[in-house]
């Protein structure tokens, strides 16, 4: 199983790695995070559950956000979701509205060996930062 230290994320111009708690990587376009924050963590899966072959990663992304909402962070209502291929293997994305932040996105990316949860929390769903964060998620590799 890969670890976060094995993850290769190409930071776009002006993006920085921010200090973060253990088990999480955090990226932002501004050092204070005021334009939004992209976080990534490994999904803890048991050996019997292979997320790479999961039928619907977008549904899983919605379900994970529901779980986060139950733990105190309001993710609001899922408004769109999609899934497809990415550099790591496969992805599922759910986009939310009426949550704690104006822009809330949750991706699940899965390779043959590991799965990751990526979250974007920001002030503007139409911002350049949302598009840049999405590019970084889609191009991340082990």
What domain range is 127 assigned to? 4-35+55-139
Output 31 or 86, whichever has higher pLDDT. 86
Q: Is residue 73 part of a domain?
A: yes
Tell me the per-residue pLDDT of 104-142, one tens digit each, with 9 for 90 and over. Answer: 999 999 998 889 999 999 999 999 999 999 999 999 999
Q: Is residue 61 part of a domain?
A: yes
Q: Is residue 44 part of a domain?
A: no
In whole angstroms, how far apart are CA 74 and each of 6, 98, 127? 31, 8, 21
Tell me the per-residue pLDDT of 22-80, one tens digit each, with 9 for 90 and over. Answer: 999 999 998 899 999 999 999 976 554 567 777 799 999 999 999 999 998 999 999 99
Q: What is the pLDDT of residue 45?
A: 66
Q: What is the pLDDT of residue 1?
A: 67
Q: Is residue 132 part of a domain?
A: yes
Q: Is residue 115 part of a domain?
A: yes
Main-chain dihedrals φ then ψ at residue 87, nearest 5 degrees: -60, -35
Helix (H, G, I), strand (E, B) or coil at 101: coil
Tell me the per-residue pLDDT of 2-34, one tens digit each, with 9 for 90 and over. Answer: 789 899 999 988 899 999 999 999 999 988 999
Task: Note whether 57 and 63 are within 8 A (CB).
Answer: no
Q: What is the side-by-side order of every strand in the sheet holding 103-110?
A: 16-18, 25-28, 37-42, 115-122, 103-110, 89-97, 77-86
Q: Is residue 85 part of a domain?
A: yes
The total number of structural domains in the chain stands at 1
CB neighbour list of residue 4: distance below 8 Å, 6 or more residues apart: 23, 24, 25, 40, 41, 42
Q: What is the pLDDT of residue 95?
A: 98
Q: What is the pLDDT of residue 48?
A: 45
Q: What is the pLDDT of residue 64?
A: 95
Q: Is residue 102 part of a domain?
A: yes
Q: Is residue 135 part of a domain?
A: yes
Q: What is the pLDDT of residue 139?
A: 98
Q: Which two tokens stand for residue 138?
A: 């889609």
Distance CA 84, CA 82 (A): 7
């Amino acid at each position: 199983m890969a670890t976060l230290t094995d993850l290769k994320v190409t930071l776009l111009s002006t993006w920085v790695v921010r200090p973060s708690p253990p088990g999480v990587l955090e990226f932002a376009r501004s050092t204070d995070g005021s334009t939004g924050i992209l976080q990534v963590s490994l999904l803890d899966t048991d050996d019997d559950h292979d997320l790479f072959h999961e039928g619907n990663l977008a549904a899983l992304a919605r379900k994970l956000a529901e779980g986060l909402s139950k733990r105190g962070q309001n993710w609001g209502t899922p408004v769109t979701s999609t899934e497809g291929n990415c550099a790591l293997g496969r992805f599922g994305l759910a986009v939310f509205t009426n949550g704690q932040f104006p822009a809330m996105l949750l991706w699940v990316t899965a390779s043959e060996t590991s799965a990751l949860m990526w979250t974007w929390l920001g002030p503007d769903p139409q911002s350049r930062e949302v598009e840049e964060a999405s590019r970084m998620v889609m191009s991340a590799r082990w």
